[in-house]
Amino acid sequence: MKIAVIGLGYVGLTTAACLASRGFKVTGIDIDKHKVETINEGKTPFKEPRLDKLLKRSGLRCSTDYAEAVDADFVFISVGTPAGPGGEIDLSYVAGAARSLGEVLASRRKPCTVVVRSTVVPGTTRGLVKNELEKSSGKRVGEDLFLCVNPEFLREGNAVHDTFNPDRIVIGDDWGSGGKNLLRLYHRFYRRRKPATILTNTVNAEMIKYASNAFLAARISLINEIANICQHIPGADVTVVSKAIGLDKRIGPYFLNAGLGYGGSCFPKDVKALIKYAEKLGETPRVLEAVDNVNMMQPLKAVELAEKLLGSLRGKTAAILGLAFKPNTDDIREAVSLKIIKTLLEKGCTVKAYDPAAIENARKVFGDTVSYAPSAEECLRDADFCIVATEWEEFRRLGPDDFRKLMREPVVVDGRRIYDPERFMEKVEFAAVGLGL
Ligand code: NAD
């Protein structure tokens, strides 16, 4: 069975490498020539655990030429769907991919199944994607071309694991055959470990993806709001509160870690896109707006806490531990570190930063307005205060003595709640999100 994957980002490349590793013949297509060359040299263009190894033994071949997709039985579209200038979804990459694909499919005799894997607002598959494909291929969806939507739920940093072990598979099909074809492919891919599957129409499948991200983002903003309240109550600690509420089966323990807010390439843009989409339908999505607003302000809590401990930050040296939007990735899109660093620079701080994976990406944003340390220890050396912005495992291993020994002033703001407050408060000036002082 031949498969083509269009768009080789975190989603597309992981999907392509996982499918290829299970013996499917996969071709990757991307318009980014440099990315294609990097992958063809056996290297991943971004950091994602296990992907490097998988790619090396997968035999995946990539190209910038859509003609390479012409004989595929399945074509997955997994190009980006970023936020437009007003927060609305930008579907231009999806439209471009569907159009280019349609052009090469025009000469094809056998029907193939096109699968939309990008996150798209409801109505996109049966509207824009179908129209672009039909217009450029001259074929009819449901007759000589199959189409379905199959949103992706993987988490960056766990992308390979999640691809092999999804909680569920959601497929949307309005025409009858594409979804069933895809199910057959997944039966072969997952063999005996069949994940729960929802086969529905395209708009439900598209909405399920947005609703999932909206729920997860809402949990984060809600626990962060509880944390912000706790911070004003001497003796209160949101980690104790969240542990207890997570034991309630109706609530559950996941996504209840208070911190500096969510970042990355999905939650922020998907919440905003859903707000804009709802507004276009005449709805006022008040909860989603609140989720977004809380999240936009949350990174600044770290700066407020530093000011509480130190007073004015002007002229001070800040050590920022963590640049990536979450651990185990080099992705800094919408990372909270960006907002924190920008604010600290505006306040006249000198900023030193360290991240195990994301320094090169941060350098593209901040250039040499920030200095980059080769290790956490070097980052802390002679700093006046430290903000933990990403909960990398190696930061958890630092103890209060490390901060005391290395920093000019041992002032620590735990933005990700990775340290035991009692242990730290004995030896350093300590503040943390959701910890009442
Ligand atoms: P990405 O930005 O990492 O990669 C997108 C790729 O598409 C880029 O390599 C780009 O060059 C390529 N591209 C753009 N236009 C193209 C075209 N016309 N033809 C061929 N290639 C083209 O994106 P991503 O993070 O992999 O996300 C892809 C989609 O999956 C988005 O809709 C996103 O919302 C969704 N998603 C992402 C994640 C995640 O964790 N990153 C998880 C679930 C869903």
Identify the bridge partners of residue 199 per DSSP, sorted by sequence position: 171
- Six token digits for residue 422: 């009692």
Mean pLDDT within 97-119: 96
Q: Could you give the CA distance from residue 257 to residue 288 in angstroms, rounded to a whole number?
A: 19
Kindly give, in sequence order, each residue whose CB lies less than 8 Å from that of residue 398, ignoring residues fewer than 6 positions away. Answer: 376
pLDDT band at 87 (very low <50, low <70, confident <90, very high): very high
Mutate to test the pocket of ligand 1, among 30, 103, 277 (most ligand atoms within 8 A of CB): 30
Sheet holding 25-29: strands in order across? Answer: 61-63, 25-29, 2-6, 74-77, 113-116, 146-149, 168-172, 196-200
Mutate to test the pocket of ligand 1, among 5, 6, 11 (most ligand atoms within 8 A of CB): 11
Our CA angle for 287, 302, 85, nearest 5°, is 50
Kindly give the distance from the C-alpha atom of residue 4 to the centroid of ligand 1, in angstroms, as a whole number: 15
Does the CB atom of residue 266 touch ligand 1 within 6 A? yes
Dump pLDDT digits (tens) for 282-296: 999 999 999 999 999
- Taking the CA atoms of residue 199, residue 156, residue 124 and residue 275 in that order, the dihedral angle to the nearest 10 degrees is 110
Nearest ligand 1 atom, CA 13: 26
Kindly give the distance from the C-alpha atom of residue 356 to the centroid of ligand 1, in angstroms, as a whole number: 24
Q: Could you give the CA distance from residue 389 to residue 340 in angstroms, rounded to a whole number?
A: 9
> Residue 371: its pLDDT value, please?
98
* Residue 415 pLDDT exceeds 90: yes
pLDDT band at 278 (very low <50, low <70, confident <90, very high): very high
- Can you list the positions of beta strands (E) in 11-89? 25-29, 61-63, 74-77
Mean pLDDT within 59-75: 95
Closest CA relative to residue 1, chosen from 20, 17, 14, 18: 20
Which ranges in 165-201 belong to alpha helices (H)?
A: 178-190
Kindly give the distance from the C-alpha atom of residue 312 to the centroid of ligand 1, in angstroms, as a whole number: 42
Mutate to test the pocket of ligand 1, among 152, 161, 212 (most ligand atoms within 8 A of CB): 152
> Residue 437: its pLDDT value, please?
85
- Six token digits for residue 83: 């936020």
Cα dihedral 207, 210, 214, 216 sign: positive
- Asked if 69 and 6 touch (Cβ cutoff 8 Å), the reply is yes
Q: Could you give the CA distance from residue 407 to residue 164 in angstroms, rounded to a whole number?
A: 43
pLDDT band at 211 (very low <50, low <70, confident <90, very high): very high
Number of neighbouring beta carbons within 10 Å of residue 50: 16
Kindly give the distance from the C-alpha atom of residue 35 to the centroid of ligand 1, in angstroms, as a whole number: 12
- Asked if 139 and 133 touch (Cβ cutoff 8 Å), the reply is yes
What DSSP line would sit under 290-310, residue for residue? HHHHHHHHTTHHHHHHHHHHH
> Residue 59: its pLDDT value, please?
85
Q: Could you give the CA distance from residue 255 to residue 184 in angstroms, rounded to a whole number?
A: 33
Q: Would you name the residues annotated as active-site residues?
A: 266
Dump pLDDT digits (tens) for 339-368: 999 999 999 999 999 999 999 999 999 999
DSSP 27: E
Mean pLDDT within 31-45: 96
Q: Could you give the CA distance from residue 255 to residue 270 in angstroms, rounded to a whole number?
A: 17
Q: Could you give the CA distance from residue 423 to residue 246 in angstroms, rounded to a whole number?
A: 24
* Residue 193 pLDDT exceeds 90: no
* Residue 192 pLDDT exceeds 90: no
Does the CB atom of residue 124 touch ligand 1 within 6 A? no
Q: pTM for the complete prediction?
A: 0.96
The region that residue 278 occupies, defined by phi over 0 for left and psi between -120 and 50 for alpha, beta otherwise, is alpha
CA distances from 35 to 10, 30, 67 (A): 12, 8, 18
**Mean pLDDT over the full length of the chain:** 97
Which ranges in 51-91 belong to alpha helices (H)?
A: 51-56
Dump pLDDT digits (tens) for 250-269: 999 999 999 999 999 999 99
Dump pLDDT digits (tens) for 296-338: 999 999 999 999 999 999 999 999 999 999 999 999 999 999 9
Residue at token pair 């530093």: 306
Kindly give the distance from the C-alpha atom of residue 9 to the centroid of ligand 1, in angstroms, as a whole number: 5
pLDDT band at 194 (very low <50, low <70, confident <90, very high): confident
Nearest ligand 1 atom, CA 79: 7
- Six token digits for residue 290: 């609140």
Higher pLDDT, 246 or 110: 246
- Six token digits for residue 244: 């207890």
- Asked if 421 and 435 touch (Cβ cutoff 8 Å), the reply is yes
Q: Whose CA is nearest to atom 11 of ligand 1?
A: 32
